[in-house]
Chain A
Amino acid sequence: MTTIPSTSAPVRRDKSRIRVRNTVLTILTYLIAIAFLFPLVWMFLAAFKTEAEAFASPPVFAFTPILENFKNALPSYFPALKNSLVAAVGSTLLAFALGLPAAFALAVYPTRRAQGTLTWMLSTKMMPAVGVIVPLFLLFRNLHLLDTLPGLILMYTTMNLPLVVWMMHSYMTEIPFAIYEAAKVDGASVAQEFFGIALPLSTPGMAATALLAVIFAWNEVFFAVNLTSSDAAPLSVFISSFKTSMGLFWAQMSAAAALTVLPVLIFGWVAQRQLVRGLSFGAVK
């Protein structure tokens, strides 16, 4: 009986020690997160400063926010925004048009060859862009596709097609097979299975996949820099024009960058769970 008080005291001390440890770890987590967010916060803050405040040293933390930078950045921002939107949405649509039927066929009619096809499609994603850029550049030049949106859409489709096939394949295999079998018994054609069952039942997957494809196309730099110059230049090329500004227009640059990053941030936060699936090609769920 005498053991009871002697054991309960250390247990209580243990508990309070664990609580202290937990609090310390939580504070540490917050500190690391703040450190990681700082560059972005600093950029967003600068977007609302005057140019003088933006590159004042020591840095200015308290200031009256202004909207002038956004007003100044907008005229050159809009054409690039239009190009980014068209390239991202256009390539996503094209990748869906090509990828959805393939994903459906590979999911609903799996054969030994289907697995190989799927793997091969993923392997095209392993192809560094630098391994194909030279012939593509020469080809685009001859076909007058350089600095055009169709040209950019074609390349972004290549980039997103394996993603669409893989993600949609994984969503479509989750549809209970019995539904297809029931439809088949009723005499449904392949097209009816595709439009009547597979597509409606994988709508959430399609939304997640589309978000990811748009994000990847939106953020792409290599093809944008090498295949466009002015007419079709998307936001990535527009922002890179600030790389030589040598600190002259930090506030305006921050405003343009903020406008460029914000839509993707919001998309990414929303699609966070699906992000893991898309980024690891389903290897980690």
Chain B
Amino acid sequence: MTTAVRPTTTTASPPAPKRGLRLTPAALIWPAMLYLILTTQVPFFMTVYYSFFNYNLVIPDNRPFIGFGNYATLLTNPQNLQVVLNTVILAGGTLILTLFIGGAMAMLLNRNFPGRGLLRTLMISSFLVMPIVTAVVWKNMLLNPVFGFFSWLVASLGGQPVDWLAQYPMASVIAMITWEWTPFAMLILLTGLQSLPDDQLEAARLDGASPMQEFRHIVMPHWTQAIQVVVLMETIALLQVYGEIYGSTSGGPGLATTNLPYFIYQKAFAEYNIGLASAAGVITVILTNILAVYLLRMINRTNQSNKGG
């Protein structure tokens, strides 16, 4: 028996069962806790610490304390406000598009028709594709002004070929990331729709509800939770978009598609400005966590209601 026991308990001799039970669960939880504390909480506090210094890796020995100087630099430079604005437009624009397209697709797939299962399975593909592959394929093969498929499509419809990433950089990036995230919205929203009991809809129909009324009063209230999950999960993920930008526009042209994560990458790994990058990191964390608080509250609520039912 003792061979199967992992060295998680510090007491070698078997104690009274009750005490053992009280001790061991904590010992089982602590390795995971400790790991997460060491790799997320500790580095974050170090980030906060660095953010108060004028710290550049090029001159590592001289790093004067400048208090909120980095934050002041970040928040007063209009270029940096552009970066914050880009982050919001990118996340918000993509979120709205994925909600509408994903929601429509979920409703379309929530009907009986031949090939439904296969379509549902295939539709999630773009979410599974590595972001960097998405970026490289879209940039080279679809959005290329001369040889790209979309330019040919526009030209063959009688339009002018377009250099998408140069002329409409943000719209192109949003289109690309929408392609990636629509399956996520669709999947969650479809699951939400499928958990709607049929008898509720039938009852509404018997009462003579129009399709619009049916949607507003039966489907929407039931759907709200799935929609909340999509909104919050996507917001948190989309605020952190990096690979797609790194692989396609590199934040350009100019600052047109630079969002906070890409900005921090540039400051830290191209300019070695650790202090400024850290301050921007802290701001991103604060932004994200304001949203995360809502998410955690909601999921806790759901967990409790699941346990009740």
Cα distance A215–B129 in the bound complex, in angstroms: 10
Q: With A42-B142, A128-B285, A161-B32 as given contacts, are A254 and B137 in contact (CB-CB < 8 Å)?
A: yes
Q: Is B268 an interface residue (CB 8 A)?
A: yes
- Over the window 224-247 of chain B, the binary record of Cβ atoms lying under 8 Å from chain A Cβ atoms (1 yes, 0 no) is 011001000100100110110011
Beta-carbon contacts under 8 Å, B274-306 to A: 274, 277-278, 280-282, 284-285, 288-289, 291-292, 295-296, 298-300, 302-303, 306
A264 contact from B33, B130, B195, B242, Cβ within 8 A: B130
User: Which of A25, A101, A139, A215 lies at the interface centre, i.e. has the most chain B CB atoms within 10 A of its CB?
Assistant: A101
Whether A57 lies near B20 (C-beta < 8 A) is no
Min CB gap A176→B, angstroms: 15
Whether A243 lies near B25 (C-beta < 8 A) is no
- Over the window 215-256 of chain A, the binary record of Cβ atoms lying under 8 Å from chain B Cβ atoms (1 yes, 0 no) is 100110110011000000001100110110111001001100
Whether B281 lies near A240 (C-beta < 8 A) is no
User: Which of B29, B139, B239 lies at the interface centre, i.e. has the most chain A CB atoms within 10 A of its CB?
Assistant: B29
Whether B126 lies near A285 (C-beta < 8 A) is no
- Over the window 45-69 of chain B, the binary record of Cβ atoms lying under 8 Å from chain A Cβ atoms (1 yes, 0 no) is 0110010000000000000000000
Cα distance A33–B115 in the bound complex, in angstroms: 11
Q: Is B123 an interface residue (CB 8 A)?
A: yes
B105, closest chain A residue (CB) = A32
Cα distance A88–B265 in the bound complex, in angstroms: 23
Q: Which residues of B contact A136 (CB under 8 A)?
A: 39, 43
Whether B28 lies near A102 (C-beta < 8 A) is yes
Q: Is B103 an interface residue (CB 8 A)?
A: no
A121 contact from B36, B135, B138, Cβ within 8 A: B36
Q: Which residues of B contact A225 (CB under 8 A)?
A: 243, 246, 265
Q: Is A16 an interface residue (CB 8 A)?
A: no
Whether B111 lies near A284 (C-beta < 8 A) is no
Cα distance A274–B285 in the bound complex, in angstroms: 29
Cα distance A280–B225 in the bound complex, in angstroms: 11
Whether B298 lies near A283 (C-beta < 8 A) is yes
Min CB gap B51→A, angstroms: 9
Q: Which residues of A contact B21 (CB under 8 A)?
A: 109, 190
Whether A283 lies near B225 (C-beta < 8 A) is yes
Cα distance A99–B30 in the bound complex, in angstroms: 10
Q: With A98-B35, A126-B288, A165-B32 as given contacts, are A284 and B108 in contact (CB-CB < 8 Å)?
A: no
Whether A124 lies near B128 (C-beta < 8 A) is no
Cα distance A267–B303 in the bound complex, in angstroms: 28
Whether B236 lies near A102 (C-beta < 8 A) is no
Min CB gap B35→A, angstroms: 5
A137 contact from B4, B119, B137, B268, Cβ within 8 A: B268
Cα distance A136–B296 in the bound complex, in angstroms: 26
Whether A242 lies near B140 (C-beta < 8 A) is yes
A276 contact from B44, B130, B191, Cβ within 8 A: B191
Whether A280 lies near B132 (C-beta < 8 A) is no
Cα distance A250–B146 in the bound complex, in angstroms: 14
Cα distance A154–B8 in the bound complex, in angstroms: 21
Q: Which residues of B contact A275 (CB under 8 A)?
A: 124, 187
- Over the window 107-125 of chain B, the binary record of Cβ atoms lying under 8 Å from chain A Cβ atoms (1 yes, 0 no) is 0110101110001111111
Min CB gap A226→B, angstroms: 6
Whether B274 lies near A134 (C-beta < 8 A) is yes
A30 contact from B39, B119, B233, Cβ within 8 A: B119
Beta-carbon contacts under 8 Å, B146-189 to A: 146-147, 149, 151-152, 156, 179, 182-184, 187-188
Whether B36 lies near A236 (C-beta < 8 A) is no
Whether B105 lies near A135 (C-beta < 8 A) is no
Q: Is B248 an interface residue (CB 8 A)?
A: yes
Whether A257 lies near B133 (C-beta < 8 A) is yes
Whether B182 lies near A58 (C-beta < 8 A) is no
Q: Is A145 an interface residue (CB 8 A)?
A: no
Q: Is A39 an interface residue (CB 8 A)?
A: yes
Whether B40 lies near A221 (C-beta < 8 A) is no
Q: With A123-B296, A284-B192 as given contacts, are A265 and B138 in contact (CB-CB < 8 Å)?
A: no
Q: With A36-B182, A126-B236, A191-B6 as given contacts, are A283 and B302 in contact (CB-CB < 8 Å)?
A: yes
A128 contact from B1, B36, B248, B288, Cβ within 8 A: B288
Beta-carbon contacts under 8 Å, A264-285 to B: 264-265, 267-269, 272, 275-276, 279-285
Cα distance A218–B243 in the bound complex, in angstroms: 13
Q: Which residues of A contact B132 (CB under 8 A)?
A: 221, 236, 239-240, 243
Q: Which residues of A contact B127 (CB under 8 A)?
A: 268
Cα distance A42–B138 in the bound complex, in angstroms: 10
Q: Is A76 an interface residue (CB 8 A)?
A: no
A155, closest chain B residue (CB) = B39
**8 closest A-B pairs (Cβ-Cβ)?**
A221-B243, A135-B46, A126-B292, A105-B25, A101-B28, A102-B32, A105-B28, A132-B43
A-B contact pairs, 23 of them (CB 8 A): A28-B108, A33-B122, A33-B123, A43-B141, A59-B152, A102-B33, A126-B292, A133-B264, A134-B50, A135-B50, A136-B39, A190-B25, A222-B261, A225-B265, A239-B247, A240-B246, A243-B248, A247-B146, A257-B136, A265-B125, A280-B188, A282-B302, A285-B191
* 18 further A-B pairs in the complex, CB-CB below 8 A; given A25-B108, A128-B239, A130-B261: A36-B125, A98-B31, A109-B21, A119-B296, A133-B265, A135-B46, A136-B39, A138-B274, A158-B35, A161-B32, A165-B32, A218-B130, A221-B247, A239-B133, A240-B246, A243-B132, A254-B141, A276-B188
